Structure 1
Amino acid sequence: MQRVEREIARLIQEIDYDVVTHLFEKLQGGKRLRAKLILKIATSSEQAPLLGAIVELVHGASLLHDDVIDEATLRRGTPSVNATDGSKTAVMLGDILYSKAFSELVLFDREIAKVVSSSVTALSKGEMMDVKMSQNFNDDAQIYLDMLYLKTATLIEAAAQGAALLEGKDAQKHALYGKNLGLSFQIIDDILDITADEATLGKPAMNDFVEGKCTLPYIYLYHALNTPEQERLRRLHAKVLDKEETLWIKEKMQEHKSIEKSFALAQKLSNEAMQAVKEDAGLIEILETMIKRSY
């Protein structure tokens, strides 16, 4: 990981603009899940740290754009770039990170470059779907999972698949692993948005629903409610919730086990991922650690 960090620092330094260097420091502190995954899979490749750095730049760019779209003021518990320096600056910084990542990606084998670059198209499409879906109450779990795959899981899938290609391992099995890891990781995040407190999240609890996002627990809850209750949940969608409304949602989720149902799907996806790479203890450990983040 030290080599990944050095590669990231080198790429940022090559941009040769102090403003970018300063702003990029605000993005530090993430889990570096994608880079760690690449290093776990491509253990002997000299190119693995650079590929990890490229994928982390792509991820950072997507977060910058995501915060602008969501008008988020916090990122990992600290003020977001769009909050401190404005949305225009955040978008341009994201564009710089994307373009720098692509300029380095051309150094890799064509198939690896295509896997990673295609995932960036997919995650941008997923972001657009997310924006469209937040305009109305979505009660279709499959539509939500399709969006989740594009927006979140596809880059993790690409990291795992690209690393497998780099190392000469089974690319399809590792792609399945990455896809399911990404989906289950985000489902756990959706759960934590409801069950964790603001200090843990680095943002207000139940913020997803306030922003108009109907994540799995809300979808499962909706289908368990009677008609008047369904109408009430719809009315609360995309509005600031008071204490009584928050309590009602949480009590109904507890009554109908919406959180447990969501976690069961995350566990199922995680188990499928484990089966795909059952002989790789390091990758299984990543999954187990991710699942333990739950409520």
Structure 2
Amino acid sequence: MQRVENEIARLISECDYDEVTRLFEMLSGGKRLRAKLILKIAPEHEKAPLLAAIVELIHAASLLHDDVIDEALTRRGVPSVNATDGSKTAVMLGDILYSKAFTELVSFDEEIARAIASSVTALSKGEMMDVKMAEEFNSDEAKYLDMLYLKTATLIEAAAIASALLVGKDAHTYGIYGKNLGLSFQIIDDILDITSDATTLGKPAMNDFVEGKCTLPYIYLYDVLADSDKERLINAHAKTIDKSEELWIKEEMTKHKCVEKSFKLAQELSNEAMNAVKDDTALVEILQTMIKRSY
């Protein structure tokens, strides 16, 4: 991982602009899940750290744009770039990270470069779908999961495929692993948005719903509510809600086991990923750690 951090620092330095360096240093590195995945699949390949750095730059760029779209003031517990330096700067920094990543990506074989590049197109499409879906309450589970795959899982899937190609492993098998890891990881994040406090999250609790996002627990809750309560849930959507309304939502979710149902799906996806790479203990451990995050 230190080699990955060194590669990231080199790529940022090559942008040759102190402002880019300053702004990038403000960003929290996060879990580096995608980088760790690449290193686990291709641990001995000399270009694996560079591939991991490229994917992390792409991920960082997507988060910068995401924060602008969501008007988020914090990211991983620290002020977002759009909060400290404005949305224009955040968008431009994201553009620089994207373009630098693609500049470096051309040094890889075409199949590897295509896997990463096409995932960024899918990621951007997923972001647009997410924004569109937030315009009204969404109760369609399949539609939500499709958006989740595009916005979150595709880059993780691509990281797994690209690193498998790098070392001649079965790209299809590792793609299944990456896709399901991405989906289950995000479902757990959706659960934590409801069950964790603001200090743990690094952002306000239940922020997804306030921003207009109907994640799985809300979709499952809508399915089981009486018509009058369905209307109440819809009326609370995409606005700041008071403590009594927040408590009602959480109590109803507890009553109808919406969080447990969401976790069950994450567990099923995780199990499918484990079965795809059952002989690779390092990748199985990543899944086990992810799925055990407290909710």
Compare 23-32 and 236-245 and name the one that shifted more. Answer: 23-32
Give 1:135-174 correspondences, 5 Å limit.
Answer: 135-174=135-174
CA offset digits 1:34-84 (Å, max 9, x no partner): 000000001221110000000000000000000000000000101000000
Distance in 2, matches of 1:33 and 1:167, equals: 19
* Residue equivalent to 2:255: 255
**Which residue is equivalent to 2:132?**
132
Instruction: Tell me if structure 1 keeps the 8 A contact 2:125–2:150.
Output: yes
Counterpart of 1:38 in structure 2 is: 38
User: Unaligned stretches of 5+ in structure 2?
Assistant: none
> Counterparts in 2 of 1:47-62, with a 5 A limit?
47-62=47-62
Distance 1:110 1:119 in 2: 14
Aligned to 1:121: 121
| RMSD, aligned CA | 0.5
Residue number in structure 2 paired with 1:213: 213
Identity over the aligned pairs, expressed in percent?
76
Q: Taking structure 2 as the reference length, what is the TM-score of the superposition?
A: 0.99
| 1:87-136 per-position Cα deviation (integer Å, ceiling 9, x unaligned) | 00000000000000000000000000000000000000000000000000
CA distance in 2, matches of 1:52, 1:78: 24
In the TM superposition, structure 1's runs of 4+ consecutive aligned residues that sit over 6 Å from their partners are none
For 2:210 and 2:114, how far apart are their aligned partners in 1?
37
Task: State the Cα distance separating 1:27 from its structure 2 match.
Answer: 1.4
Work out the CA distance in 2 between the residues paired with 1:148 and 1:241.
Answer: 25
C-alpha distance in 2 between matches for 1:189 and 1:241:
21
Task: State whether residues 191 and 294 of structure 1, in contact with CA within 8 Å, keep that contact through their aligned partners in structure 2.
Answer: no
Taking the aligned partners of 1:149 and 1:244, their CA distance within structure 2 comes to: 33
- Would the aligned equivalents of 2:181 and 2:273 in 1 still touch at CA under 8 Å? yes
Q: Does the aligned pair in 1 maintain the 2:28–2:76 contact within 8 Å?
A: no
Residue 26 (structure 1) shift: 1.4
Query: 1:171-182, aligned counterparts within 5 Å?
Result: 171-182=171-182
| Counterpart residue number, 1:227 | 227
TM-score (norm 1): 0.99
For the Cα contact (< 8 Å) 1:37–1:159, is it kept in 2?
yes
For 2:140 and 2:294, how far apart are their aligned partners in 1? 23
Secondary structure (helix, strand or coil) at the match of 1:165 reads helix
Residue segments in structure 1 that go unaligned for 5+ positions in a row: none
Structure-to-structure mapping, 1:276-291, within 5 angstroms: 276-291=276-291
Q: What is the letter of the counterpart of residue 26 of structure 2? A: K
CA contact (8 A) 1:43 1:167 kept: no
Q: Say whether the 8 Å CA contact 1:138–1:219 is kept in structure 2.
A: yes
Question: 1:221-243: CA deviations, max 9, x gaps?
Answer: 00010110101000000010101
For 1:98, give the aligned amino acid: Y
The answer to whether structure 1 residue 91 and structure 2 residue 91 are counterparts is yes
Distance in structure 2 (CA, Å) of the matches to 1:29 and 1:97? 14
CA–CA separation in structure 2 for the residues paired with 1:117 and 1:222: 37
1:202 aligns with 2:202: yes
Map of 1:63 onto structure 2: 63
